Structure 1
Amino acid sequence: MVGRKVQRNVWMAIGFVLLLLIGVFYVLSNNQVKSEREKEIELNTANHNFEKVLAYENDYMGNASNMGNLFNNIPLSSYKDNIELDSDAFTFIINYDTTSDEEAEKAVIYNATAAFVLVKNLEVINMRFLNNSYVVTRENVEEWFGGDLKELIDPSMFKEKVQKPLLKSEINDWLASYTN
Structure 2
Amino acid sequence: MDKRRLIIGLIIIFAIPLYIWIAYYEIPNKAEVGEGKLQQKPLNHNFATVLPFENEYMGDNSNTNGLVESLPLSEFKGTIEMDPEQHSLLVHYNANTVELDGQAEQAVLYNSTAAFVLLGNLQEFTMQFTDESFTVKRIQVESWFGTEFNDLKDPDIFEEKVQNPIGAAGAEKWFEVYTGGKMK
Which TM-score tier does this pair reach, normalised by the shorter chain?
A: 0.7 to 0.9
Distance 1:124 1:175 in 2: 15
* Aligned length, in residue pairs: 168
Alignment TM-score, normalising by the size of structure 2: 0.81
Distance 1:81 1:20 in 2: 44
The alpha carbon displacement at 1:130 in A equals 0.9
Which residue of structure 2 aligns with residue 48 of structure 1?
Answer: 45
3-state SS, counterpart of residue 48 of structure 1: coil
Distance 1:30-1:90 versus aligned 2 partners, 3 A rule: same
Pair 1:78-2:75 in alignment: yes
Which residue of structure 1 aligns with residue 6 of structure 2?
Answer: none
3-state SS, counterpart of residue 78 of structure 2: strand
CA RMSD of aligned residues (A): 2.3
The alpha carbon displacement at 1:80 in A equals 0.8
Which of these residues, 56, 60, 63, is aligned with residue 59 of structure 1?
56
Distance 2:88 2:44 in 1: 27
Q: Which runs of 5+ in 2 are unaligned?
A: 1-8
Alignment TM-score, normalising by the size of structure 1: 0.82
Bigger CA radius of gyration:
1
3-state SS, counterpart of residue 134 of structure 1: strand
Q: Which runs of 5+ in 1 are unaligned?
A: 1-11
Amino acid at match of 1:43: Q
| Paired-residue identity, % | 36
Distance 1:81-1:22 versus aligned 2 partners, 3 A rule: farther
Using the TM superposition, name which of 135-144 and 18-27 deviates more.
18-27
Which residue of structure 1 aligns with residue 120 of structure 2?
Answer: 120
